[in-house]
């Protein structure tokens, strides 16, 4: 029996450590919060039942989270604690029972209830009313210093308003994304071909750890403050609700639903109200925090194992889940021709809004989860903006359900769909497919592609409906007269649009390559190709191997580029665009004269904090060039985890090998 317990404890610890690392260090959660809580509680139970197996380094003893390497460390003057959870009213009552047993006067003080914003915790140090440093929570004892990035958040005052603040204090709060800002960020990433961020919480954590503060600023983060640790000076307020008022006076943003309640019955009523309006909040929240209002009692109540305070508890809401019927499975055609299945649902309320569709990701997902048309399905929206189908409720099947057969042909144009054996997506290969046209033209005209001002979704729809265009090349034949005949087009707006289309002829080759919507070719790849080949004709004549050799490209992308250029329909489209006088060259980058001037670098393995394209961009900006294979001419090999044969070869040839931290040091970035 105890052998089983020992094995289970070891396995649970392993799972939590893996999850902690994925969450805190990689900003990429491996499991859901609910799963984490279940595993954590099971481990706590086993450790209590078998104290002999409890060890000081168990994840239950630590606040969780590691400290990433590229940012300066910040030691918190007081630890940043986490919160115990209550998942039901009973558990909330049990909490009150426990604390009144420790300290009978607690009940008389009443409670504050604050919405628990789903973001990332920060600590802001103010000396004499001025923001000195800002840091992430890290492992609760040591975080990362991200002052410059926190200074870009408008909700955080750089100098406090009013008066009466302690000479030295740490203000604690939560940095978060609004749902709209998060959706916009992901939309932009999708357009650039960057991987999408899993949820607003991890996106907020990642945004704070950017090396370039202008990136952080562009993400429009927000912050609510909710706590003060006085280091030098007088206490701020005898109560938590009074403290929130003071924070607001000093210029901090305060979560607007926070308020005082005389007893637990009132707390319950408030929780029911808040849970009902959760889906309509402009940000994600996963529950409320109930806090003993009388702050003098906080110290007396103390903490549990230095990890969680006794004076506060998180009352978690159930995740936003709904059960409904899957009426049908539709297939959407994206601009690169990707065929994506989506769920057509019997309308159902989910987190305060009615939904009638949800994503099914890809065909394999549907088949693996055995999701059938007519099934009763579970739908969730946990952090993400677009709801997704979790799976079928198999027990209630009546036999009328139909297995989904991915269509053999594109639903928009009938061209047989293609699928690479090692990919999950299927594609419509027809470059002039009308299903691809709408999204394709919108993408072509966007700011970071051909930058055609005034050509947004609505106008593209109008041009397609009026049959004035069928593809992007047709844009260059449009005349003012044709447009004036359309709804909402006056003489002036028509000529402005024609002028904007005309001006786009000057966009460089990299913009055009990105604009074409070639599969796998996002902005970064387009720039790499344009810089390497300089001329469109050179790219059109290049063999697949040469294309694959361009840094940051590789065989899959090269194959997609070659297939695009070889496809008669897309080749014709490119011909028509060049006939219309579009720029087909890339200006040569000027010599920059940076610290890595004249050096050839090779990257291998995965780096601890930077992506490969970030590292490549930094090397190039500093004057270095990138090579794909290691030779005697290679100056430096930048190696990360799981570096393979390139590392061996570098060692054999005596080429210098360094790690990411050393690169950052050489570029004068803090390590």
Range 367-406, binding ligand IVH (CB under 6 A): none
Q: Which residue stretch of 110-118, 356-364, 621-629, 652-660 sits at the interface with ligand IVH (rule: CB under 6 A)? A: 110-118
Q: Which residue stretch of 43-51, 113-121, 328-336, 415-423 sits at the interface with ligand IVH (rule: CB under 6 A)? A: 113-121
Please, what's the largest Cα pairwise distance for the chain? 85
Bridge-based pairing state of the strands 84-86 and 312-316:
parallel
Distance of alpha carbon 30 from alpha carbon 20, whole angstroms: 9
Smallest gap from Cβ 57 to ligand IVH, in A, equals 21
Smallest gap from Cβ 593 to ligand IVH, in A, equals 44
Distance of alpha carbon 514 from alpha carbon 78, whole angstroms: 49
Q: Which residue stretch of 81-89, 512-520, 643-651, 656-664 sits at the interface with ligand IVH (rule: CB under 6 A)? A: 81-89
In terms of DSSP H, where are the helices of 219-257? 240-249
Smallest gap from Cβ 312 to ligand IVH, in A, equals 5
Pick the closer one to ligand IVH by CB: 83 or 548: 83
Residue with nearest beta carbon to ligand IVH? 121
Pick the closer one to ligand IVH by CB: 256 or 593: 256
CA distances from residue 327 to 342, 343, 375, 406, 545 in whole angstroms, order as listed: 11, 8, 8, 16, 46
Tokens representing residue 55 in the block: 């060890």
Distance of alpha carbon 148 from alpha carbon 152, whole angstroms: 7
Distance of alpha carbon 432 from alpha carbon 474, whole angstroms: 12
Smallest gap from Cβ 247 to ligand IVH, in A, equals 11
Rg of the chain's alpha carbons, rounded to an integer? 29
Pick the closer one to ligand IVH by CB: 143 or 309: 309
From the list 116, 291, 316, 646, the catalytic residue is 116
Q: Which residue stretch of 19-27, 86-94, 109-117, 233-241 sits at the interface with ligand IVH (rule: CB under 6 A)? A: 109-117
Q: Does 316 bind ligand IVH (CB under 6 A)?
A: no
Smallest gap from Cβ 189 to ligand IVH, in A, equals 25
Out of 12, 117, 455, 610, the residue judged to bind ligand IVH by CB under 6 A: 117
Q: Does 135 bind ligand IVH (CB under 6 A)?
A: no
Pick the closer one to ligand IVH by CB: 289 or 433: 289
Smallest gap from Cβ 2 to ligand IVH, in A, equals 32
Distance of alpha carbon 522 from alpha carbon 612, whole angstroms: 15
Q: Which residue stretch of 75-83, 572-580, 650-658, 659-667 sits at the interface with ligand IVH (rule: CB under 6 A)? A: 75-83
Q: Does 114 bind ligand IVH (CB under 6 A)?
A: yes
User: 255 exposed, middle or buried (CB, 10 Å; 0-12, 13-18, 19+)?
Assistant: buried
Smallest gap from Cβ 175 to ligand IVH, in A, equals 9
Q: Does 312 bind ligand IVH (CB under 6 A)?
A: yes
Binding mask 205-244 for ligand IVH (x = CB under 6 A): ---------------------xx-----------------
Out of 74, 116, 426, 459, the residue judged to bind ligand IVH by CB under 6 A: 116
Closest CA to 634 of 553, 555, 551: 551
Q: Does 271 bind ligand IVH (CB under 6 A)?
A: no
Q: Which residue stretch of 79-87, 409-417, 528-536, 561-569 sits at the interface with ligand IVH (rule: CB under 6 A)? A: 79-87
Smallest gap from Cβ 139 to ligand IVH, in A, equals 12
Out of 82, 213, 559, 583, the residue judged to bind ligand IVH by CB under 6 A: 82
Contact in structure between 270 and 261 (CB atoms under 8 Å): yes
Contact in structure between 626 and 619 (CB atoms under 8 Å): yes
Q: Which residue stretch of 111-119, 203-211, 230-238, 261-269 sits at the interface with ligand IVH (rule: CB under 6 A)? A: 111-119
Count residues contacting ligand IVH (CB under 6 A)? 14
Out of 110, 143, 309, 435, the residue judged to bind ligand IVH by CB under 6 A: 309
Our answer to whether residue 369 is catalytic in this structure is no
3-state secondary structure of 558: helix
Pick the closer one to ligand IVH by CB: 285 or 515: 285
Distance of alpha carbon 432 from alpha carbon 410, whole angstroms: 12
Out of 289, 292, 333, 610, the residue judged to bind ligand IVH by CB under 6 A: 289
Distance of alpha carbon 380 from alpha carbon 389, whole angstroms: 7
Closest CA to 650 of 606, 603, 598: 603
Distance of alpha carbon 29 from alpha carbon 179, whole angstroms: 19
Pick the closer one to ligand IVH by CB: 225 or 619: 225
Any residues with CB less than 8 A from the CB of 2 and at least 6 apart, and which? 50
Out of 121, 203, 358, 573, the residue judged to bind ligand IVH by CB under 6 A: 121
Our CA angle for 51, 140, 286, nearest 5°, is 90
Bridge-based pairing state of the strands 426-427 and 402-403:
unpaired
Smallest gap from Cβ 177 to ligand IVH, in A, equals 14
Distance of alpha carbon 316 from alpha carbon 617, whole angstroms: 42
Pick the closer one to ligand IVH by CB: 138 or 193: 138
Smallest gap from Cβ 462 to ligand IVH, in A, equals 45
Block residue for tokens 């970071």:
448
Any residues with CB less than 8 A from the CB of 559 and at least 6 apart, and which? 544, 548
Out of 83, 417, 498, 636, the residue judged to bind ligand IVH by CB under 6 A: 83
Range 414-453, binding ligand IVH (CB under 6 A): none
Smallest gap from Cβ 83 to ligand IVH, in A, equals 4
Block residue for tokens 């070639």:
518
Binding mask 153-182 for ligand IVH (x = CB under 6 A): ---------------------x--------
Block residue for tokens 């403290």:
243
Tokens representing residue 253 in the block: 């943003």
CA distances from residue 301 to 78, 82, 97, 99 in whole angstroms, order as listed: 16, 15, 13, 7
Out of 254, 271, 314, 542, the residue judged to bind ligand IVH by CB under 6 A: 314
Out of 16, 46, 68, 81, the residue judged to bind ligand IVH by CB under 6 A: 81
Q: Got the DSSP string for 100-150? A: HHH-GGGGGG-EEEEEEE-SEEEEEEEETTEEEEEEE-TTSSEEEB-HHHH
Closest CA to 586 of 472, 506, 525: 506
Active-site positions read 116
- Interface residues with ligand IVH (CB under 6 A) are 81-83, 114, 116-117, 121, 174, 226-227, 289, 309, 312, 314
């Amino acid at each position: 029996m105890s052998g089983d317990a020992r094995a289970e404890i070891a396995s649970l610890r392993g799972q939590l450590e893996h999850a902690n690392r994925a969450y805190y260090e990689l900003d990429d959660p491996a499991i859901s919060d609910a799963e984490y809580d279940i595993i954590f509680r099971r481990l706590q139970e086993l450790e209590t039942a078998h104290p002999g197996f409890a060890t000081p380094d168990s994840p239950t003893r630590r606040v969780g989270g590691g400290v990433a390497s590229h940012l300066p460390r910040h030691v918190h003057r007081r630890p940043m604690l986490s919160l115990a959870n209550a998942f039901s009213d009973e558990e909330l009552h049990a909490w009150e029972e426990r604390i009144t047993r420790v300290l009978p006067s607690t009940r008389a003080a009443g409670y504050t209830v604050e919405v628990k914003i789903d973001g990332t915790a920060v600590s802001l140090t103010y000396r004499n009313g001025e923001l000195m440093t800002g840091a992430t929570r890290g492992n609760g004892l040591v975080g990362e210093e991200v002052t410059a990035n926190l200074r870009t958040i408008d909700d955080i005052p750089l100098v406090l308003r009013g008066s009466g603040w302690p000479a030295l204090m740490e203000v604690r709060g939560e940095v978060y994304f609004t749902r709209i800002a998060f959706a916009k960020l992901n939309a932009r990433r999708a357009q650039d071909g960057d991987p999408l961020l899993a949820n607003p919480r991890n996106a907020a954590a990642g945004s704070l750890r950017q090396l370039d503060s202008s990136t952080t600023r562009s993400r429009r983060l927000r912050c609510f403050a909710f706590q003060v640790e006085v280091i030098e000076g007088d206490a701020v307020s005898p109560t938590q609700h009074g403290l929130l008022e003071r924070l607001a006076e000093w210029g901090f943003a305060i979560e607007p639903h926070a308020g005082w309640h005389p007893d637990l019955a009132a707390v319950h009523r408030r929780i029911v109200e808040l849970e009902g309006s959760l889906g309509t909040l402009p940000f994600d929240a996963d529950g409320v925090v109930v806090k003993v209002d009388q702050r003098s009692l906080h110290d007396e109540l103390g903490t549990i194992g230095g990890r969680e305070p006794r004076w506060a508890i998180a009352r978690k809401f159930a995740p936003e889940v709904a059960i409904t019927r899957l009426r049908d499975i539709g297939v959407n055609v994206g601009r690169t021709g990707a065929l994506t299945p989506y769920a057509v649902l019997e309308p159902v309320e989910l987190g305060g809004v009615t939904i009638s569709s949800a994503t099914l990701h890809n065909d394999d997902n549907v088949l693996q989860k055995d999701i059938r048309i007519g099934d009763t399905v579970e739908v969730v929206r946990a952090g993400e903006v677009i709801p997704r189908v979790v799976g079928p409720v198999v027990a209630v099947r009546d036999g009328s359900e139909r297995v989904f057969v991915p269509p053999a042909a594109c639903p928009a144009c009938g061209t047989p769909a293609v699928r690479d054996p090692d990919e999950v997506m299927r594609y419509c290969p027809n470059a002039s497919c009308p299903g691809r046209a709408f999204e394709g033209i919108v993408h072509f005209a966007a700011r970071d592609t051909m930058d055609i001002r005034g050509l947004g979704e609505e106008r593209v729809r109008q041009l397609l409906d009026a049959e004035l265009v069928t593809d992007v090349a047709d844009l260059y034949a449009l005349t003012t007269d044709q447009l004036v005949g359309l709804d909402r087009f006056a003489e002036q707006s028509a000529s402005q649009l024609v002028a904007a289309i005309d001006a786009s002829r000057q966009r460089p080759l990299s913009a055009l390559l990105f604009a074409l919507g070639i599969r796998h070719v996002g902005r970064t790849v387009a720039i790499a190709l344009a810089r390497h080949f300089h001329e469109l004709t050179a790219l059109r004549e290049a063999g697949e191997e040469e294309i694959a050799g361009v840094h940051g490209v590789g065989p899959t992308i090269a194959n997609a580029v070659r297939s695009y250029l070889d496809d008669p329909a897309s080749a014709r489209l490119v011909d028509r665009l060049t006939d219309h006088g579009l720029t087909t060259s890339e200006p040569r980058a000027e010599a920059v004269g940076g610290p890595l001037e004249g050096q050839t670098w090779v990257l291998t393995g995965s780096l601890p904090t930077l992506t490969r394209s970030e590292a490549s961009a930094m090397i190039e900006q500093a004057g270095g060039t990138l090579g794909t294979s290691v030779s005697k001419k290679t100056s430096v090999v930048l190696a990360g985890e799981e570096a393979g044969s390139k590392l061996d070869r570098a060692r054999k040839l005596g080429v210098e090998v360094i790690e990411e931290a050393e690169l950052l040091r050489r570029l004068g970035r803090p390590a």
